[in-house]
């Protein structure tokens, strides 16, 4: 935010009789109220849809309709669509395997350099200048691919990060085959800008895990692995719980080969997009010393 980050304090413009006003004075007033409003939005709301922005599209159609509405991004900027928009379905026939292709329809706040000049006027002894700029939200299709754990995620890392950071707001998801909708538009991916009355919960799984082994002794090993939770779309660090799907102990010829001593696993260095898990394993006899290669981390986060 310009008010807090650039100046470090708040200045309110005042005027006196006989003062000569410049365009920068009046633009400063507008910028002050705009940025204070954005700060209010950013403080009291989460990125998402506040009102409207309904998306409709039926199976076998080649276009979707987006209704008027209001959304907020992570910087508190208002994304306002004042009229119906029709967006053509992405011209994708299929993926390399001949299957459907998935896209998210997202909306974002327009950059200043992309604003349309709505009105210009002649200056007094000066050239014509712009007096109105039209803020038209930017709608774009985002190609999705299979990510870790089988979840769909944006193919473009930059767009994936912008969605995770709340700078692009997902309105709907479509499944496209032969340049047509294979199914009706899905709205399950939308997020409300209003504070949630219930906790936000997401879950997933990851396999294989890349384990780091730290031998404590001949019979004890501490295993650590990084778990990616970006598919959950958390905006802040949630409270994680995790379990390992796989053998917790193994017996062969009446002998215990290994046993998990630290269960459930520990969650270390949690972040919005992942955490490190650690587990203590006892290797009691010889045999397969790496049974953890077949384990799957099943996690849940509550934000």
**pLDDT at position 149:** 66
Residues of the chain with pLDDT under 50: 1-3, 6-7
Q: Can you give the residue ranges of every domain in the chain?
A: 22-38+45-195, 203-302
Q: Is the Cβ–Cβ distance between 211 and 224 less than 8 Å?
A: yes
Reference 99, options 207, 162, 160, 176; nearest CA is 176
Q: Is the Cβ–Cβ distance between 178 and 93 less than 8 Å?
A: yes
**pLDDT at position 5:** 53
Helices (H), the chain: 23-44, 157-164
**pLDDT at position 87:** 92
Q: What are 17-75's pLDDT values in tens digits? A: 998 888 888 888 888 888 889 999 888 888 999 999 999 999 999 999 999 999 999 99
Rounded CA gap, 152 and 160, in Å? 11
Token pair of 101, please?
Answer: 């292709």
**pLDDT at position 83:** 92
**pLDDT at position 257:** 56
* DSSP code for 192: B
**pLDDT at position 258:** 61
**pLDDT at position 1:** 42
- At the second CATH level, the architecture of 203-302 is Sandwich (2.60)
């Amino acid at each position: 935010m310009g008010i807090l980050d650039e100046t470090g304090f708040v200045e309110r413009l005042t005027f006196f009789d006989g003062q000569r006003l410049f365009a920068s004075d009046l633009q400063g007033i507008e910028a002050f109220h705009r940025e204070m409003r954005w700060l209010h939005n950013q403080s009291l709301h989460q990125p998402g849809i506040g009102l409207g922005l309904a998306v409709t599209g039926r199976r076998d159609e080649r276009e979707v309709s987006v209704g008027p509405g209001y959304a907020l991004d992570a910087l508190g900027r208002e994304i306002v669509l004042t009229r119906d928009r029709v967006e053509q379905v992405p011209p994708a026939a299929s993926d390399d395997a001949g299957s459907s292709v998935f896209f998210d329809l997202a909306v974002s706040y327009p950059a200043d350099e992309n604003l349309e000049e709505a009105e210009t006027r002649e200056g007094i002894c000066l050239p014509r200048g712009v007096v109105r700029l039209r803020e038209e939200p930017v709608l774009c299709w985002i190609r999705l691919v299979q990510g870790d754990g089988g979840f769909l995620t944006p193919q473009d890392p930059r767009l994936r990060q912008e969605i995770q950071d709340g700078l692009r707001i997902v309105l709907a998801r479509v499944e496209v085959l032969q340049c047509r909708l294979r199914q009706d538009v899905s709205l399950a991916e939308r997020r409300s800008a209003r504070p949630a009355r219930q906790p936000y919960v997401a879950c997933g799984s990851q396999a294989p895990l890349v384990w780091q082994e730290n031998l404590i002794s001949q019979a004890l090993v501490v295993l650590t692995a990084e778990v990616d939770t970006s598919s959950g779309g958390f905006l802040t660090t949630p409270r994680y719980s995790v379990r390992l799907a796989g053998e917790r102990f193994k017996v062969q010829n009446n002998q215990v080969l290994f046993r998990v001593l630290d269960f459930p696993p520990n969650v270390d260095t949690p972040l919005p997009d992942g955490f490190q898990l650690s587990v203590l394993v006892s290797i009691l006899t010889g045999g397969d010393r790496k049974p953890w290669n077949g384990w799957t981390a099943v996690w849940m986060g509550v934000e």
